Amino acid sequence: MSESNQLIVFDWDGTLMDSEARIVACLRAAIDETGLAHRPDDALRNIIGLGLREALVTLYPDGSDQQHDALVQHYRHHFLDSNDTPSPLFEGADDLIRSLHAQGHFLAVATGKGRNGLDKVLEETALGEYFHYTRCADEAHSKPHPQMLLDIMDWLGMEPSDSLMIGDTEFDLQMARNAGVKSLGVSYGVHEKARLLACEPLACLDSLNEVAEWLNTNIIKAA
């Protein structure tokens, strides 16, 4: 890769943070409280990465606006206030972000989380100061629409050729392709490796340590 590839955009859930169990638990609780039919855990995991409303409409395509609104409210209550399911950073996430920042790269987050949810975990992990810009699904179209990436590049003055998206779902990689941005897939998150490879990322890696090695080999440190 060229010296200009200096904007690195990360998905959050399933890429930097192991939050699948917490998200699934909050979805289950919200569904129970809304009185809708249960969905299997695989279906709940599959929609991680989409914006919250888009995810819930995917789960309940025949639901009413009122039911979707209630699901959103219940889910946010559990995620932000009442659920304490552990959601640690994946091994190597903290070191990778700090190292890339120290090397001078622009770092960003493009996530299916809402703003309140992302701000909460950025504060909890003390990583917020290392990201130059973040974009959430309640501020832009949900993945795989390219708007979040386009907004990030516009804000930071970067071109698609200078940018890289890293994510664990096909929604992340499709968003990158729709924005004309190169991508890396990570196989330890939500979507299986075959789905990621079908999106033609530059590579599909099995850990954040492998991501760090790939980045050190394939991008030139900023001056």
Task: Supply the CATH number for residue 113's domain.
Answer: 3.40.50.1000
| Domain closes at, from 82, 114, 132 | 82
In a domain, 223, yes or no: no
Q: Is 32 annotated as catalytic? A: no
- 13 with 107, same domain: the answer is yes
pTM attached to this predicted model:
0.91
Return the structure tokens found at 146.
């390219």
Instruction: Determine the 3-state secondary structure of 102 from DSSP.
Output: helix
In a domain, 171, yes or no: yes
Sheet holding 182-186, edge to edge: 133-136, 106-111, 7-10, 163-167, 182-186, 204-205
**Quick one: pLDDT at residue 4?**
46
Catalytic option among 13, 151, 162, 168: 13
Q: Is 11 annotated as catalytic? A: yes
Side-chain half-sphere exposure of 139, counting CA atoms within 13 A: 18
The span from the CA of 173 to the CA of 167, in Å, is: 7
**Quick one: pLDDT at residue 220?**
54
Place of tokens 């493009």: 110
- 174 with 98, same domain: the answer is yes
**Quick one: pLDDT at residue 132?**
97
- 138 with 42, same domain: the answer is no
Domains held by the chain: number: 2
In a domain, 1, yes or no: no
**Per-residue pLDDT tens digits for 114-165:** 999 999 999 999 999 999 999 999 999 999 999 999 999 999 999 999 999 9
**What is the identity of the amino acid at 155?**
W
| Domain closes at, from 57, 82, 107 | 82
Full residue range of the structural domain in which residue 136 is found: 7-18+90-218
The span from the CA of 89 to the CA of 210, in Å, is: 16
